[in-house]
């Protein structure tokens, strides 16, 4: 390991507290921590000799055990972690020694190369191996096990890493250590550096994980002035993009200008001109409502207008079942299904038969599914083409189980085509349907709703069912809430709890939370379905949570920790966040999972529970889908995940698309139900404690809900209903107020 100062002078003899920049290189033994968003890493590295392992902290695009890294930085003594090397620049390098080269190849750095192929390649070519990949790649075919397909994969992977290294060097030369070089390369290709030089602000628009401040730092480094029109326009769009990531669609113009002023610190005249230019270019749309001007990102304006058009078109068509005796049909359906509907449920079925477009909303236990089942049993409807859909795979599966008909996710219903990266179903190729029923509609954001509605034929009926009091969609907009508040769509609000559900403390407490009331507790010797376990410190909550998930619930309720129990937490970070709890639960529940694949700072083993964190249309796996790792191939650097009985294959380089799922955030649980839910709750979660968050968490549990934590945090969350509605224009547009 090389640890000499760059100027060649020994460290001994320097004045105390003064350190020169040093260069440190070695092999990564362990990735202690890696954050794929920021690239911040804590690595244990060693060289090929007998030096002890040292700790290196810094930012890097990606890293795996076995890779060689080079760091420029200084030694420091950290109060908590001891002596460590703090890297200002940290990058993966090609090693020079024979053993180092073999470890580099075997690390999974190159797609398709594992330990066995690495050994064969080194035996054949020794230290010339990298030069052969670079200049004479046809010779790769001489190695047993490498055919044309694998050869192309290895060469492409090698060139990709070389290009990424150049981008990293370019970015670091401008004072920015980014973790997104690979994504930059995939978006801009060989022209990456030229594209950044022409408009560095495009990074914040095009590359996930690169914000405006990072792009701004590069821009200033290459000489773009602080008050340049390019910077002002980019900042204006960035403010709107940030607000859309919080769920907003439109922003009052004064609010937008004020936020841009705070971000950019440049004169109002420059900002106002920038806004005019962005509007003229069509990137921002400004609309007038009364005396107020509102600003949208173009795609969100188009999405809202598309939803308005879709709602009006569907509502204005003819009923697919024609005219029928509604009262008699409802009575016969009750008799046929042997269900006695409540007054509100009968009204819901009656309205569904009388309206092209209907919203059914209500909390748990009020019988939304019973209404759908009853409706489907009416002969005039039964003989028609009915499509059932929901935003998530789990919600679609529940809908199928409840109705006995196939339920599909919206993405599958619209037939996403990976070749064109678009849906096959649209206004030009509509769905073949007479009735479309959408469950968990509160989860649908304005962009997805704008893709669904045009694909529904004009003469088909549409029923949207959902709980408007749950958390709003992850994406922009609040479509279900806006449709209800617009007053332009018929709505059935169900409030009466079914008799068989009224005895459930889960359902009673969910409704009590929604009303801001205190929670009921289980009393008596028998088993209940809701428990609150008092705990006063984060360490105690963690200890009790692991014990309850691993021992108490399985022993007392006969539920399996892997298949039946889901930990839901308000936050991702912190001692009671999903990241920290996953480490604890993985060790306790699958500590003997055998040899693991470590990637992006997380170790995955056979039997681990994982969650997909982005939509992958090619694999047909979507954000929020939970699966179990069923097999790992260390030689090929692959693993297989079982999603609802379907095997899906991942390369190690794709593992940034997933995360451990022993514990997930409450937001990620939307649209899903689990036999048992365990919820840690602490004042550490203070920023997130809101009524609709707790309400959503409670309604995810089917047989059992356990809350472990502080009484004070629970009271605060139930009493806090301060979240302001999302800034959208859909309700006003439906009323015809927007120009």
Binding-site residue numbers for ATP are: 365-369
Q: Measured between alpha carbons, how far is 275 from 237 in angstroms, rounded to an integer?
A: 9
- Classify residue 208 as exposed, middle or buried by CB count within 10 Å of its CB (0-12, 13-18, 19+): exposed
List, in order, residues 6 or more apart from 379 with CB less than 8 Å away.
329
Nearest CA among 514, 443, 439, 440 for reference residue 478: 443
- C-alpha 447/C-alpha 451 separation (Å) is 7
Q: How far is CA 17 from CA 81, 379, 425, 480, 571, in A?
A: 18, 85, 66, 61, 39
* Residues flagged as binding site: 365-369
570 close to 688: Cβ distance less than 8 angstroms? yes
Please state at what angle helix 229-245 crosses helix 253-264, rounded to 10 degrees. 120
Quick one: which H or E segment has residue 402? helix 393-403
DSSP state of 520: P
| Alpha-carbon 683 to chain mean position | 25
Cβ atoms of 632 and 595 within 8 Å: the answer is yes
Distance CA 346, CA 213 (A): 56
Closest to 117 in 3D by CA, of 136, 134, 133:
133
**In angstroms, how far apart are the furthest CA atoms of the chain?**
98
Cβ neighbours of residue 706 closer than 8 Å, sequence gap 6 or more: 530, 531, 532, 533, 548, 553, 676, 677, 678, 679
DSSP string spanning 422-488?
EES-SSSS----SEEEESSGGG--HHHHHHHGGGS-TTSEEEEEE-TTSPPPSSS--HHHHHHHHT-
Please give the structure tokens belonging to residue 385: 């083409």
CA dihedral sign of residues 402, 400, 568, 391 = negative
For residue 465, list its beta bridge partners: 360
Distance CA 470, CA 672 (A): 12
The answer to whether residues 605 and 629 touch, using CB atoms and an 8 Å cutoff, is yes
Compute the distance between CA of residue 19 and CA of residue 246 in angstroms, rounded to an integer.
43
Which helix (H) or strand (E) element contains residue 76?
Answer: strand 68-78
| Residue whose entry in the numeric block shows the structure tokens 């001007």 | 293
| Angle formed by the axes of helices 212-221 and 229-245, nearest 10° | 170
CB 61 within 8 A of CB 178: yes
How far, in Å, CA of 206 to CA of 204, rounded?
6
3-state secondary structure 30-51: EEEEECCCCCEEEEEEECCCCC
Cβ atoms of 447 and 299 within 8 Å: the answer is yes
């Amino acid at each position: 390991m090389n640890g000499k100062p760059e100027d060649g002078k020994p460290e001994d003899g320097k004045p105390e507290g003064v350190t020169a920049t040093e260069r440190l290189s070695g092999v990564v033994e362990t990735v202690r921590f890696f954050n794929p968003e920021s690239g911040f890493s804590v690595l244990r590295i060693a060289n090929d000799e007998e030096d002890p392992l040292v700790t290196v902290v810094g930012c890097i695009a990606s890293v795996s055990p076995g890779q060689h890294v080079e760091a420029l930085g200084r030694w420091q003594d950290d109060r908590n972690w001891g002596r460590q090397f703090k890297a200002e620049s940290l990058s993966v390098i090609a090693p020079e020694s024979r053993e180092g080269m073999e470890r580099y190849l075997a690390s999974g750095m190159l797609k398709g190369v594992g330990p066995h192929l690495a050994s064969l390649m080194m035996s054949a070519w020794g230290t010339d191996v990298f030069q052969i990949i670079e200049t004479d790649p046809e010779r790769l075919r001489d190695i047993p096990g490498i055919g044309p397909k694998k050869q192309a994969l290895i060469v492409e992977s090698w060139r990709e890493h070389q290009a990424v290294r150049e981008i990293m060097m370019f970015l670091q030369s401008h004072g920015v250590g980014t973790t997104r070089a690979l994504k930059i390369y995939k978006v801009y290709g060989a022209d990456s550096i030229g594209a950044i030089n022409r408009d560095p602000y495009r990074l914040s628009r095009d590359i996930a994980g690169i914000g405006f401040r990072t792009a701004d730092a590069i821009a200033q480094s290459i000489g773009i002035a602080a008050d340049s029109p390019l910077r002002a326009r980019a900042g204006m769009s960035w403010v709107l993009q940030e607000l859309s990531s919080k769920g907003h669609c439109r922003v009052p113009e004064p609010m937008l200008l004020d936020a841009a002023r705070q971000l950019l610190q440049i004169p109002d005249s420059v900002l106002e001109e920038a806004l005019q230019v962005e509007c003229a270019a069509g990137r921002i749309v400004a609309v007038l409502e009364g005396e107020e001007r509102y600003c949208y990102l173009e795609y969100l304006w188009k999405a809202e207008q598309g939803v308005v058009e879709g709602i009006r078109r569907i509502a204005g068509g003819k009923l697919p079942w024609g005219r029928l005796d509604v009262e008699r049909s409802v009575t016969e359906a009750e008799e046929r299904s042997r269900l006695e509907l409540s007054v509100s449920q009968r009204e819901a079925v009656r309205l569904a038969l009388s309206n092209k477009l209907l919203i059914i909303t209500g909390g748990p236990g009020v019988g939304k599914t019973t209404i759908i089942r009853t409706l489907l049993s009416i002969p005039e409807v039964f003989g028609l083409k009915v499509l059932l859909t929901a935003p998530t795979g789990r919600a679609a599966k529940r809908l199928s189980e409840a109705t006995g008909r196939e339920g599909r996710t919206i993405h599958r219903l619209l037939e996403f085509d990976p070749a064109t990266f678009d849906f096959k179903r649209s206004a030009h190729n509509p769905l073949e349907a007479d009735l479309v029923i959408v469950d968990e509609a509160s989860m649908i954001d304005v962009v997805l709703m704008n893709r669904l509605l045009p694909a529904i034929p004009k003469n088909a009926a549409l029923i949207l069912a959902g709980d408007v009091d749950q958390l709003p969609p992850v994406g922009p907009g609040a479509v279900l809430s806006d449709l209800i508040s617009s007053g332009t769509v018929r709505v059935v609000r169900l409030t009466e709890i079914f008799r068989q559900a009224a005895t459930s403390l889960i359902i009673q407490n969910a409704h009590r939370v929604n009303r801001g009331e205190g929670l009921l507790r289980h009393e008596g010797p028998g088993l209940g379905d809701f428990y609150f376990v008092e705990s006063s410190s984060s360490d105690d909550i963690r200890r009790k949570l692991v014990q309850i998930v691993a021992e108490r619930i399985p022993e007392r309720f006969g539920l399996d920790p892997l298949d039946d129990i889901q930990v839901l937490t308000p936050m991702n970070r912190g001692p009671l966040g999903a990241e920290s709890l996953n480490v604890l639960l993985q060790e306790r529940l699958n500590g003997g999972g055998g040899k693991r694949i470590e990637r992006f700072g997380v170790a995955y083993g056979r039997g681990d529970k994982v969650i997909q964190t982005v939509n992958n249309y090619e694999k047909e796996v979507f954000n929020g889908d939970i699966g179990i790792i069923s097999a790992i191939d260390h030689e090929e650097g692959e693993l297989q995940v079982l999603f609802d009985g379907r095997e899906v294959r991942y390369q190690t380089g794709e593992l940034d698309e997933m995360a451990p799922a022993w514990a997930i955030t409450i937001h990620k649980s939307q649209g899903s139900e689990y036999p048992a839910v365990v919820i840690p709750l602490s004042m550490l979660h203070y920023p997130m404690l809101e009524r609709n968050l707790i309400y959503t968490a409670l309604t995810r549990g089917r047989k059992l809900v356990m809350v472990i934590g502080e009484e004070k945090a629970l009271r605060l969350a139930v009493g806090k209903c301060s979240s302001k509605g999302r800034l959208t224009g859909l309700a006003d547009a439906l009323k015809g107020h927007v120009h």
